[in-house]
Amino acid sequence: MAENGKNLDISPILEPMTINRLEIKNRIAMAPMNCNYTDPEHYMSRQQMAYYGARAKGGTGLIITEAQAVSEHPVADTYRKYNNPYLTSYKYLPTQSNFVEHVHSFGAKIFAQLFTGPGRQGSNDLGAADIVSASPIPWEQFPDKMINGAGYKHLKAAARLAGYHGEVPHPSEYEAFIKFIQGIPYLHACGATPREITKQEIRALVKDMGKGARIAKMAGYDGIEVHACHGYLVHTFLLERSNERKDEYGGGFENRIRFMLELIRSARKAVGPDYPVGVRFSASDDLPGGYAPDVAAKIAKRCAEEGADYISLSDGSYEAMSDFLPNQEGQVVDKAAIVKAAVKIPVICPSVHDPQNVVDVLRNNKADMVQQGRQQICDPDWVNKVINRQFDDIIKCTRCNRGCIFRFIAMLPVRCIRNPRTGQEEFIEEYMKRPILPIKQKVWQEAHDLTEENPSEIWEYTEQEFKEAVEL
């Protein structure tokens, strides 16, 4: 830490904050990350319950789930090898509700991140349909934008994990290397050419966003977050580099953000005005035809005007992995400050791990909240250790990406080379044994409040309201 721990004022971290009408107990969020723990049929697994429960028990104020699918339309279902949870049907509701109760029992709030598909970063492996994007432009790798640990020997190791045992061309032999990457089934490391998604398909995804948001609210999630980052489908609409459409979804700024705004409107209509709805997009796309943080600030303002309650920032894409998964502490902080200066709603900044740096971000008003991804994989007790001033006991993420990212790419469940408990939480009693009484009290209180407020309201939620919901 940059400052002696004894003198660090941690009060900015512990200050509660409000999103819409929801109070969150501190300023630390867990960033959304798929860890390949989902049940094969897209239900939340016991391991996910325990994994998220561990981070809630560790003091994290807000947990944002990995991307959860809202649509089973073929254009959205091209990410099968990474097996996201589903909020596409009411059949998932009981398991989702049980999952949310488990996280709540350990004291955290939890939002569901809602996902309309990977776009050109998907694949047709495992029987999926061919991929779609804003325009028929594939993504490519930029060697100067690779993450820590993505050297030649690590790429060879990833190929071995994916079942390939032949010769691996060196990246300096670019054409041979790309051909090699494209030829390995399930090694998701280079893009095929997508087809342009149709307006009819876009409308189907917008409609499904509303249904997914409604199911998330019914399951007990405290809020939802629209996924629009990292080079996936919605992100491709935002960029001149990947959007050459000639219709109302391409061309000028307002057209390029249209799809994202329609998703926000659909979610808001489904959940009502008093329920937190956020959106996550990249703070920049630092490649030719991308956008700078000042454009991200314009996007944030339009999202707020359309009803978003907060902005959750990430950065980059598969083409710029060292932005998507920062190699260094605080890479996105100054970009977040530009976005925050443009809006009145809360802004969440990613990838700040050091307690001193988190305090500086909050104290200097560069963001309202800090979210941690790999650091929370590495140490679920980060917040409690800060509260107890056990700074030297924090298991520090080294951003090596070996136990998390490279295993994930090879379709294996995430682990951490610094914390052997990560990925094993379902076998650890303290994370599976939930406090039961607070859940009983909460459910009873909710039912009591509803009937006391207006006993007839239950039955007056009404045929017309129901029809509007179904038709969304």
Residue 455 has pLDDT above 80, yes or no: no
Residue 166 has pLDDT above 70, yes or no: yes
Residue 175 has pLDDT above 80, yes or no: no
Query: Hey, what amino acid is at 123?
Result: S
Residue 460 has pLDDT above 50, yes or no: no
pLDDT for the residue numbered 342:
98
Q: How does strand 22-24 pair with strand 17-19?
A: antiparallel
Residue 24 has pLDDT above 80, yes or no: yes
- For residue 343, which of 321, 327, 320, 365 has the smallest C-alpha distance? 365
How far apart, in whole angstroms, are the C-alpha atoms of residue 226 and residue 66? 11
How far apart, in whole angstroms, are the C-alpha atoms of residue 335 and residue 400? 24
What ranges do the domains of the chain cover?
5-140+191-435, 438-472
Share of the chain above pLDDT 70, in %: 86
Q: What would the mean pLDDT of 233-255 be, rounded to a whole number?
A: 97
* Coil, strand or helix at 24: strand
DSSP 418: T
How far apart, in whole angstroms, are the C-alpha atoms of residue 408 and residue 414? 6
pLDDT for the residue numbered 464:
56
Interval 95-136: pLDDT, tens: 999 999 999 999 999 999 999 999 999 988 888 999 999 999
Interval 281-334: pLDDT, tens: 999 999 999 999 999 999 999 999 999 999 999 999 989 989 999 999 999 999
- Read off the pTM: 0.90
What CATH code is assigned to 5-140+191-435? 3.20.20.70
Q: Give the model's confidence band at 261: pLDDT under 50 very low, under 70 low, under 90 confident, else very high.
A: very high
DSSP 339-391: HHTT-SS-EEEE---SHHHHHHHHHTTS-SEEEESHHHHH-TTHHHHHHTT-G
- For residue 395, which of 370, 371, 422 has the smallest C-alpha distance? 422
pLDDT for the residue numbered 124:
86
Q: Rounded to the nearest 10 degrees, how much is the dihedral formed by the CA atoms of 99, 102, 108, 114?
A: 0
pLDDT for the residue numbered 1:
57
Q: State whether the Cα torsion 378-384-387-391 is positive or negative.
A: negative
- For residue 340, which of 362, 367, 371 has the smallest C-alpha distance? 367
Helix, strand, coil abundance in the chain, percent, nearest 5 = 45, 10, 45
pLDDT for the residue numbered 449:
55
Q: What would the mean pLDDT of 181-204 be, rounded to a whole number?
A: 79
Interval 401-449: pLDDT, tens: 999 998 888 889 999 999 999 999 999 999 999 876 555 555 655 555 5
* Coil, strand or helix at 314: strand
8 A C-beta contact, residue 22 and residue 63: no
Q: What would the mean pLDDT of 256-273 be, rounded to a whole number?
A: 97
Q: What would the mean pLDDT of 65-88 be, rounded to a whole number?
A: 95
291: number of Cβ within 10 Å: 22
Interval 46-71: pLDDT, tens: 999 999 999 999 999 999 999 999 99
